[in-house]
């Protein structure tokens, strides 16, 4: 399949939250959103099957559509994402097997409160995305790096995840 094609779309109701420090389901003007805290790292997990059309050469890019609940100044939010391959006899689902997180680095928040911004994180094909190939089951974990481990997230208030798209890079 061609670069730029959509491989998967996830919305807040698709979230399969971890047992602790999970992003909280909320609504904003009837839009379902997932609230990610400003000081504690919180996560959301989405399950999918990699489409057969995925070429497995150039990797994927994860696009995170989000808004901020309060911050609209010159501040930054930091998102991270990680893949877990759940393929044929590959992953014991009694435990987690996520690959290391990739990060957006600092992303400037929208200048207008309520506007949606799109942050992106690229993954190279292979181990960077836990070797997920076409037809594999996988989970995608999204985290707000609120404590600034990978880069300084200094935005006040919640970051509200609106949707996630996985696109072939």
Partner 1 sequence: MAVLSETDRQRIWRGIMRYWSQLFESTDFSVAELRAAVDATDNWIDGNQGSFNTALPDPFKTNATQAQKTLLFCVTAAMRVSPAFARQLIGEVD
The dihedral sign for the CA sequence 94, 32, 35, 81: positive
What mask of x and - would describe binding to partner 1 in positions 81 to 120, judged by CB under 8 A? --------------------------------xx------
Is 151 a residue that touches partner 1 (CB under 8 A)? no
Single out the segment in contact with partner 1 by CB under 8 A; choices: 30-38, 49-57, 82-90, 131-139.
Answer: 30-38
> Would you say 76 or 98 has its CB closer to partner 1?
76
What mask of x and - would describe binding to partner 1 in positions 1 to 20, judged by CB under 8 A? --------------------
Binding-site size, partner 1 (CB under 8 A):
21
Strands 6-10, 159-168: parallel, antiparallel or unpaired by DSSP? antiparallel
Phi–psi pair at 131, nearest 5 degrees: 60, 30
Single out the segment in contact with partner 1 by CB under 8 A; choices: 12-20, 63-71, 80-88, 136-144.
Answer: 63-71
Task: Count other Cβ atoms within 10 Å, centred on residue 21.
Answer: 14
Contact 138, 85 (CB under 8 A): yes
> Would you say 15 or 69 has its CB closer to partner 1?
69
Contact 151, 49 (CB under 8 A): no
Contact 164, 63 (CB under 8 A): yes
Q: Compute the least distance from the CB of residue 168 to partner 1, in Å.
A: 34
Is 75 a residue that touches partner 1 (CB under 8 A)? yes
Contact 117, 67 (CB under 8 A): yes
């Amino acid at each position: 399949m061609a670069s730029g094609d959509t491989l998967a779309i996830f919305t807040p109701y698709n979230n399969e939250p971890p047992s602790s420090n999970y992003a909280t389901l909320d609504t904003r003007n009837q839009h379902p959103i997932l609230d990610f805290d400003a000081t504690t790292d919180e996560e959301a997990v989405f399950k999918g099957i990699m489409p057969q059309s995925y070429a497995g050469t150039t990797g994927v890019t994860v696009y995170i559509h989000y808004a901020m609940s309060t911050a609209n100044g010159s501040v930054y939010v930091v998102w991270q994402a990680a893949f877990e391959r759940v393929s044929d006899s590959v992953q014991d689902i009694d435990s987690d097997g996520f690959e290391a997180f990739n990060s957006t680095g600092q992303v400037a928040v929208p200048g207008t409160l309520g506007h949606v911004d799109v942050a992106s994180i690229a993954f190279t094909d292979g181990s960077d995305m836990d070797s997920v190939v076409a037809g594999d089951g996988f989970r995608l974990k999204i985290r707000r790096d609120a404590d600034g481990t990978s880069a300084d997230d200094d935005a006040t208030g919640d970051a509200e995840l609106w949707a996630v798209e996985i696109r072939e890079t």
